[in-house]
A and B are shown apart, each in its own frame.
Chain A
Amino acid sequence: MHFVPLMGIAFPLGDASGTSGDSLSARYGWQWVPLELGFGAKVTESVYVGAYLDLSVGYEGSDHVTKRRCEAGDGLDDDLTCSSSSAHLGVEARYTINPTETFAGWFGYGIGYTAASQSISDAGRYEETSTVRGFEFARLSLGLDMRLSRGFGMGPFAVASLGRYLKQETTINDYETSAGSIDDQAFHCFLTLGYRLVIFP
């Protein structure tokens, strides 16, 4: 089992769709990953297999049209809020190079489901949310664990989550205005850097 509390930052790279200007960073700002959960077991001394779930939140992306609207509010007498979030869920395998050493390097591969959402809300007068869902075909990870005791470790890690969004939906004022496949799909990546705590590494 491993946790990543309060120590991960994910950077959006690539494109959300094939539409011109629709890059991942235009939709979503960098994401704070407050929590990553992994549950699994060691198949051998070096090989871990398990499931992962991480949720992250952030501000709006760099798209200037959205940004201009988001920055129009003063944050005091209006309730204008802009936010983005992302989620990754799947299974992964990790190989630890030197499992009996104090400093243990590892790398991994995973596959799963991914989703991301951006929203803008104006004091309940207008709310719009755009959500995409898709397939994470490669979650490439590596890190270095420092074993402080037999059951506890910590260390830096990096994860590149490569995926493709397949479905999108839009809601305006809580009404779903569209849902369906993305015609012009593209590849994207969330690059996460962080520091994790590991229980029973």
Chain B
Amino acid sequence: MISTTPPTIPQTVLKDTLVNDYLVADYAVAVFREVMRVAQIARQGFDADDIAAIVAEEVLNNSASIMARYPNPALYARQRARHAGISFDRTQRAQRGEGVRLRRDADGALQPHRRYLSGNATGANSPDELFSFAIDALIEFEAAADDRLLISAMLGSQSLGLSADELNEVWLIDGCGYAVQEVAAMRRQRRETVSRRLSNTRQRLKDHRQ
């Protein structure tokens, strides 16, 4: 039988900070490799090392508590690998569902992509380019103010009373290809909050089109 007694780390070694740092890094790397071994058994993708990196990063961020509870890195890695794989898949699915645009690389692999639209692009049935109303810097102030009011009124009527934040979110996510997670970070809000608001905005736009 294989003994389950965890290997002990000699205290004389732990006293030395440099050696201790080295042990932590060595432990994290051992976790990385074991997660990769476990993940590559269950998965057929190209992502076992991504999952391993997530778990190893957790180890480096909480090394003291993890190393105390799991002196054997392989045991910790096996405990975490399955759930880390599930979380990884969930994140990937959520990001795709929430609007991360993917593009094909030259080699055909899908990568997140920022899709920038032309500034004066409009919908298919729009009569004029929206930004043709943009203010010329040389025109008179009053005329410029009138133009600005007109543009605001047009945007207001077309945006169904959506707030500036809601419009901005739809623009960033559906227009520019930002992930919900990234927009949430900009707003300093939780991803779920932005995601919920985005779904609501999209539904309102959809209802209006019908």
Do these two chains interact? Answer: no
